[in-house]
Amino acid sequence: MDYLALPFVLRDGYLDKTSLLESITYSVGLLLSTRPGMMHFDPEYGCDIWNKEFSDLYAANKADIRASLRNALNKYEERLYNVSVSFVSVEDNAPHSLGLAVQVSGNYKEGDEEKKFQANYVLG
């Protein structure tokens, strides 16, 4: 099966294709970087993390935030299952960096083969 790459780039009349793993990675990244209400096709699409102040991320109940992220992933990225979400520290010297990333882990199937998924998404 072919999967479309994000961002959509039209080249020679065709959109770029990608692997299943990269498609899931792009999809999770899009979901985590979208504030609820920004996608008119589904006002619930997105991630509640953007409704928090960045300073609240350190003081907020992380279990509630992780549960909210898991719920969004379970609803909008159905190719992943056994999803777990955690926060990890990252070394990033960018001026806007929070030094925090969301780590998403889970499983997906490619054909009959079960594979592991894990990716970090830097916040900020």
In this predicted structure, what is the pLDDT of residue 71? 92
Q: In terms of C-beta distances under 8 Å and separation of at least 24 residues, what long-range contacts does 26-33 make, across chains too? A: 27/76, 27/77, 27/79, 28/73, 28/77, 28/80, 28/104, 28/119, 28/121, 29/119, 29/121, 30/6, 31/72, 31/73, 31/76, 31/77, 32/69, 32/102, 32/104, 32/121, 33/121
Mean pLDDT of 102-121: 96
Mean pLDDT of 9-29: 89
Lowest-confidence region among 10-14, 21-25, 108-112: 10-14
Per-residue confidence band for 119, with pLDDT thresholds at 50, 70 and 90: very high
CA distances from 57 to 48, 54, 103, 110, 113 (A): 11, 5, 15, 35, 37
pLDDT mean across residues, the chain: 85
What is the dotted CATH code of the domain comprising 3-122? 3.10.450.40
Domain ranges of the chain: 3-122
For the entire predicted model, the pTM comes to: 0.82
Place of tokens 């190719």: 79
Residue 36, preceding peptide bond in cis (omega within 30° of 0): no
In this predicted structure, what is the pLDDT of residue 12? 81
Of 8-17, 27-36, 88-97, the range with the highest mean pLDDT is 27-36
Q: What is the pLDDT of residues 72-91, one digit of tens each?
A: 999 999 999 999 999 888 77
